[in-house]
Amino acid sequence: MLAWLSDCFWHERLWFPEGLGWADLQDRDGRIYAKAHDLWVTIPLALCFLIVRHIFERVVATPLALLLGVRERVRHRATPNPALEAFFCTVTKHPAQAAVQILSKQAGVSVHQVRRWFRRRRNQDRPSKLKKFREASWRFTFYLLAFIAGLVALIDKPWFYDLNEMWKGFPTLTLLPSQYWYYMIELSFYISLLFSVASDVKRKDFKEQIVHHVATIMLIGFSWCLNFIRAGTLIMLLHDASDYLLESAKMFNYAGWRKTCNYIFILFAAVFFITRLIILPFRIMYCTWVYPVTIYPPFFGYYFFNGLMLILQCLHIFWAVLILRMAIKFLPGNEIVEDERSDKEETDESEEEEEEEEQGKLENGPVSNGHSALNNNHCKTE
């Protein structure tokens, strides 16, 4: 059964146009081609990334955070209460007014104490600002180095300027050492992100991030086996072009450098829209959809590759909407750029405001100190 499944999976009609097959990618005359078994090296490399990341966050990111003035707010821990804890874990972290009153009677405490308990309990589960900063600094370092390395590897290649060159000689495209290492490092990094997803900061687009990581890993691996390497390197370069800007904006956000964060965010938004919503769909995807069929009849690998590209493009549109929402918020008032995917830590002051709203002192509007009104049924976002 396993042999049959392997034969079906590696059937040449799935991976190559008619008339071409694995025999065409056998090394000969000093020409080296990409092999599927080359991808096994990404597993130990991904584990190495996890080790390097752990060292980096302790040795580099933490001192850098202190240097930039990242400070942690003192958090009050919720007093142990079995009844409230059970409701928090099994029902909801944001009880409505009716539920708060019922819990107040069950736990034998006041409504004010119930609200404060839930606020403090939610804060206990939220990642610290230092943790966020360390994660952002690690991703910033990788994306910046990867972008520079990719640019150096591609700047002298003809397909960097003429996209039709991506398919010249396909599928017998010779593998270059720079392409090999660019692919292995990028793929290993995304695998390491998938390994660490359980311990990383969870944002509101957590599911979309998982889909993105899986689709990216499949796209990189499949393009390697299919020898779509020239297209793959350009796609990875476009993604890295904006990612390091976003991570640097987050770092300055956590450090409280508001104007620097805003300026970098504006630059990130511009680069994101140009690379992800203009160049990628109208240049790269156009060439992966249109040009190959002028050379060979469409085949499964062609459809599968472009299907993964469409998934990524849908995610780009989703994130573009979030970016626009953040830009609209801070541009008129010149306020700090907040990540709408993250939960904001609640303070004692915010709890007091919430209680005032519940009592009817304020209705559907901003409170006197400038903070926005809260909704008990929803989590506050940055």
For 34-95, the DSSP string reads --GGGGGGHHHHHHHHHHHHHHHIIIIIHHHHHHHT--PPP-PPPPP-HHHHHHHHHT-SS-
Rounded to an integer, the average pLDDT of 88-113 is: 80
- Round to whole Å and give the CA distance between 229 and 223: 6
More reliable by pLDDT, 83 or 160: 160
Alpha helices in the chain (DSSP H): 2-9, 12-15, 42-56, 62-68, 82-90, 97-107, 111-125, 129-154, 177-195, 206-226, 229-255, 258-274, 285-289, 300-333, 348-358
- Work out the pLDDT band at 366, boundaries 50, 70, 90: very low
More reliable by pLDDT, 346 or 79: 79
CATH annotation of 82-127: 1.10.10.60
Rounded to an integer, the average pLDDT of 56-68 is: 91
Place of tokens 């990719």: 150
Rounded to an integer, the average pLDDT of 218-231 is: 87
3 state DSSP class of 157: coil
Would you mind telling me the total number of residues written for the chain in this entry? 382
Question: What local confidence, expressed as pLDDT, does residue 352 receive?
Answer: 47
Would you tell me how many other CB atoms lie within 10 Å of the CB of residue 292? 22
Question: What local confidence, expressed as pLDDT, does residue 370 receive?
Answer: 39
**Mean of the per-residue pLDDT values for the chain?**
79
- Work out the pLDDT band at 191, boundaries 50, 70, 90: very high
Question: What local confidence, expressed as pLDDT, does residue 369 receive?
Answer: 40
More reliable by pLDDT, 64 or 32: 64
- Round to whole Å and give the CA distance between 228 and 72: 47
- Round to whole Å and give the CA distance between 379 and 365: 17
> Among 2-11, 120-129, 261-270, 288-297, whose mean pLDDT is lowest?
2-11
Question: What local confidence, expressed as pLDDT, does residue 234 receive?
Answer: 92
**Phi, psi values for residue 22, rounded to 5°:** -65, -30
More reliable by pLDDT, 223 or 90: 223
The segment with the largest mean pLDDT, out of 114-123, 204-213, 253-262, is 253-262
> Among 215-224, 289-298, 328-337, whose mean pLDDT is lowest?
328-337
Q: Where are the domains of the chain?
A: 30-67+128-333, 82-127
- Round to whole Å and give the CA distance between 209 and 219: 15
In 3D, which of 351, 113, 80 has the Cα closest to residue 103?
113
Rounded to an integer, the average pLDDT of 150-166 is: 89
Q: What is the pLDDT of residues 13-35, one digit of tens each?
A: 777 777 777 777 777 777 787 88
Would you tell me how many other CB atoms lie within 10 Å of the CB of residue 156? 9
Rounded to an integer, the average pLDDT of 57-84 is: 81
> Among 99-108, 239-248, 317-326, whose mean pLDDT is lowest?
99-108
As given in the structure block, the two tokens for residue 304 are 């599968």
Q: What is the pLDDT of residues 102-145, one digit of tens each?
A: 888 887 778 888 888 778 777 766 777 888 899 999 999 999 99
Question: What local confidence, expressed as pLDDT, does residue 375 receive?
Answer: 40
Rounded to an integer, the average pLDDT of 193-199 is: 80
Rounded to an integer, the average pLDDT of 313-322 is: 90
Question: What local confidence, expressed as pLDDT, does residue 23 receive?
Answer: 73
Rounded to an integer, the average pLDDT of 358-367 is: 44
As given in the structure block, the two tokens for residue 36 are 């599927």
